[in-house]
Structure formats: C-alpha cells, structure tokens
C-alpha cells in the first residue's frame, strides 16, 4: 500500500479529537483523524446529547481550567447558529461533610473564593423554595454558580466535525481502528484496515479505548470503566425547570447515592428532566463489555431518589441511555494529559489525553493538545494532569 504522510495523526474522532483537529487545521497542519467506529457514534464517552458545563470544583486548578475554557466555547459558538450552551447555572447541594467523586461543597467554596468566582450560598429551605427540590434534611447546604450550563453536546460534535471537513489540511477517516504503530526515525507508521499512514507526530485521544491504542506502544494507564446510566422523567408540571445540579449525600449501603441532573432542553427529549446516578454498581473490566442497556438497580435507585426529593416529575423514567467512561484510578489525576513515557521511541512526539469527565473542556482541550503536538508545550499549566514515568505502566 502507498503511505500517505501527515504532520499529525489524531487517533480518536470523538469531541476532543475533533477539537484537536480543528485547532491543528487553524494552523494549517496536515492532519488525519482516525476513528475506529463512525463519527458521532454512541459507543464511547461522546455518547448522548447533553453534558454539564460548570465552574465549581474542589481544586483551584480545575476551577481555573473551567474559567479558561469559557472563551473557547465563545469562539466555537461563533461558528454555528445552534446554541451550544444553555446557561441555567450550577447548583451543588447536600451534606456539607460528604466527600464524593466531585469533591466537597466546602472545598469548592474555598476554590471559588480564591479565584473570585461569583456564587451564592443556600440553606436547605432556600434550595427547596428556589429550585423545586423537597424533603431535604435541614443540615443540607448549597451553592449556586450562575455560569453553569447544559451543553448541547450533539451540536458541539456536529459543529466540530463540520469545521474539520471545511479545513483543507484536515482529513477524516472513520471505520479505521489502528492495528499497529511502528516507530521510525522522526515519526511513526500506522496501519489500519483501510490504509497505512506515516506521520511525524501522534495525538492519542480515543476516550475510554485509550489502552487499546497505547498498548501498541508497550505502555498503559490504570483505569476503571463505567457504563453510566441516565433516566428521563416527564414533567408533570410544564412550568417547572431545574438548573444543572449535583447532590452530595452519604452512601446508603455499598452503592452510594450521589446523583446529578439537567434542565429540560429542546434538543434532548423536551419536557423531560434527565437525572443520573454518579455511581455504578458493577464497573467494567474492559470497554468492550459496554452495553446500551442501563443497569436496572441504578435506575431503581434513581427513580426512588426522584420520587422522594424532586417536585413536578413522574416517578418512573420513560427514556434511558448509557455512556461509557474511563476513570483514572490514580489519586488526584482525574484528567491525564502528557507525552508518552520516555522509554517509548519518539516519546516527545506522542501526546496522550485520557480519562475523566471532560466534555465541559472540549474546545479548550483541543487547543492544549494541538499546541502540545506542534510546539511541545502549552501556555496552560498541565502539571496537575501529567503522569510522567511514575504512573505510566510498562507492559
């Protein structure tokens, strides 16, 4: 086969892979995006049509990252007439002493104050009066941050895909899993079912399928995989609306009971409210185990919570969905952004992004990954997300 040459090959055509290719295209870089499935598929972490944009985090560097992402969302919005963010605000509430996958309410307040991010504090009674929840324990507190939004993720991906199509220097190739990566002098040769491609640099961004790619280079990351469930509850009160929200609660039994939710939006089952558990009863050992069928116990816990604590909704969901996500098992490393470890040939020419809830950072991560691939550096401090030799595992 003939070998086509590219300056950068992006492995993974989900939201962040497309955002990276878009940024590379703006710099007139000859770029190829290889997607193992079809573009805009429902088989990875880009599945579904809504995500949360929010600024509260328990760590200042994550709050700063959300703030830095805002102008990149603004720039992307200029490229489409379809609204990408429905700005409804972010509500965090619950037991002030609970630590969860999202951190802690008090820690988030400290981080917001440190960076002068506006927010308001709420009592349990105020949360019920203003945001339609009910039966909250008196000790519950909350914070509301007005810049939170529901992301039209489907439109975001479609916009990025169209922008990549319009760039003369960007080529998109689906149904192209990478079967082999051969390091050569000053580059790599990649083999797919449809062609062999040569490149100087790699940006590896295949979402939860990260290890299936980097295993070809003899290293891996430690991750667990969640087949996350979502449920859509019909509004019985058509005038009711919720912000994006997350509740911090003590676990009941071994399964936990953290939940989060979305407003009703025109692009995602209008007149329904999406509520999802922020836990899984049985994590997956491998992304290939992913199913499009939600776990029935997770849905039962969600329905019970909605019935007990939310107003204006039916008690059983009419629609459900799932989304595959990989989560780093390394403490304090939710997002992983780094070059390949130094024992990999040409490691400085391989940029890797993996794991974490990162849809809210999509256009900004595209900029970071493109800069790392082309310049070997970025103006943004990625040190909290780097792995280095310590955390990458040699096969």
Q: pLDDT tens digits, residue range 329-383?
A: 887 788 999 999 999 999 999 999 998 889 999 999 999 999 999 999 999 999 9
Mean pLDDT, to the nearest integer, of 144-169?
A: 98
Mean pLDDT, to the nearest integer, of 163-170?
A: 98
Q: State both tokens at 228.
A: 């996350």
pLDDT, tens digit, 9 for 90 and up, residues 289-302: 988 899 999 999 99
Percent of the chain at pLDDT > 70 equals 96
Distances (CA, A) of 244 to 163, 179, 286, 327: 28, 40, 30, 22
pLDDT, tens digit, 9 for 90 and up, residues 197-209: 999 999 999 999 9
Quickly list DSSP for 98-152: --BTTB-HHHHHHHHHHTT---EEEEHHHHHHHH-B-S--TT-EEEEETT-EEEE
Pairing type for strands 90-94 and 244-248 reads parallel
The domain limits of the chain are 3-46+154-220+332-394, 90-146+223-328
Q: Which of 103-117, 250-264, 305-319 has the lowest mean pLDDT?
A: 250-264
Dist CA 298 CA 216 (whole Å): 35
Mean pLDDT, to the nearest integer, of 308-327?
A: 95
User: Where residue 252 falls among pLDDT bands split at 50, 70, 90?
Assistant: low
Tabulate helix, strand, coil % of the chain (nearest 5). 30, 30, 40
Give residue 222's pLDDT: 87
Distances (CA, A) of 276 to 3, 31, 239, 258, 259: 46, 37, 22, 9, 6
**What backbone torsions phi and psi does residue 215 show, to the nearest 5 degrees?**
-60, -30
With a cut of 70, say whether residue 2 has pLDDT above it: no
Percent of the chain at pLDDT > 90 equals 85
369, 16 contact by CB (below 8 A): yes
Pick one of 3.20.20.450, 3.40.50.12160, 3.50.50.60, 3.40.50.2000 as the CATH number of 3-46+154-220+332-394. Answer: 3.50.50.60
> 3-class SS at 204?
strand
Mean pLDDT, to the nearest integer, of 171-193?
A: 97
Q: Which CATH architecture has domain 90-146+223-328?
A: 2-Layer Sandwich (3.30)
């Amino acid at each position: 086969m003939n070998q086509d040459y590219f300056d950068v090959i992006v492995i993974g055509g989900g939201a962040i892979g497309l955002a990276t290719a878009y940024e590379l295209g703006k710099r007139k870089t000859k770029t190829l995006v290889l997607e193992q499935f079809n573009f805009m598929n429902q088989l990875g972490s880009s599945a579904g049509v809504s995500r949360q944009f929010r600024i509260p985090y328990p760590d200042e560097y994550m709050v700063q990252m959300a703030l830095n992402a805002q102008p990149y969302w603004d720039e992307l919005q200029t490229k489409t007439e379809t609204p990408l963010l429905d700005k409804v605000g972010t509500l965090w509430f619950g037991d002030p002493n609970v630590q969860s996958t999202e951190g802690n309410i008090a820690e988030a307040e400290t981080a917001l104050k440190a960076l002068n991010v506006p927010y308001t504090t709420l009592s349990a009674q105020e949360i019920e009066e203003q945001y339609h929840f009910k039966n909250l324990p008196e000790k519950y507190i909350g914070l509301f941050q007005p810049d939170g939004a529901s992301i039209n993720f489907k439109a975001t991906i479609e916009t990025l895909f169209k922008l990549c199509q319009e760039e003369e220097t960007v080529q998109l190739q689906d149904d192209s899993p990478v079967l082999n990566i051969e390091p050569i002098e000053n580059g790599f040769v990649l083999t797919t079912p449809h062609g062999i491609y040569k490149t100087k640099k790699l940006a590896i961004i295949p979402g939860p399928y990260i290890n299936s790619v980097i295993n070809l280079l003899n290293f891996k990351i430690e991750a667990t995989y969640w087949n996350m469930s979502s449920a859509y509850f019909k509004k019985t009160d058509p005038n009711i609306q919720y912000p994006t929200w997350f509740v911090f609660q003590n676990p009941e039994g071994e399964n936990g009971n953290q939940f989060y939710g979305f407003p009703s939006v025109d692009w995602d089952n209008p007149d329904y409210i999406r509520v999802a558990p922020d836990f899984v009863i049985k994590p997956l050992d491998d992304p290939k185990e992913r199913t499009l069928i939600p776990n029935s116990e997770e849905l039962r816990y969600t329905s019970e919570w909605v019935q007990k604590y939310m107003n204006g909704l039916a008690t059983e969901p009419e629609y459900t969905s799932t989304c595959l996500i990989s989560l780093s098992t390394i403490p304090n490393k939710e997002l992983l952004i780094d070059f390949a470890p130094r024992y990999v040939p040409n490691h400085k020419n391989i940029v890797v992004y993996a794991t974490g809830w990162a849809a809210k950072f999509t256009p900004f991560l595209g900029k970071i990954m493109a800069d790392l691939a082309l310049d070997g550096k970025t103006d943004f401090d990625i040190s909290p997300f780097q792995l280095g030799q310590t955390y990458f595992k040699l096969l």
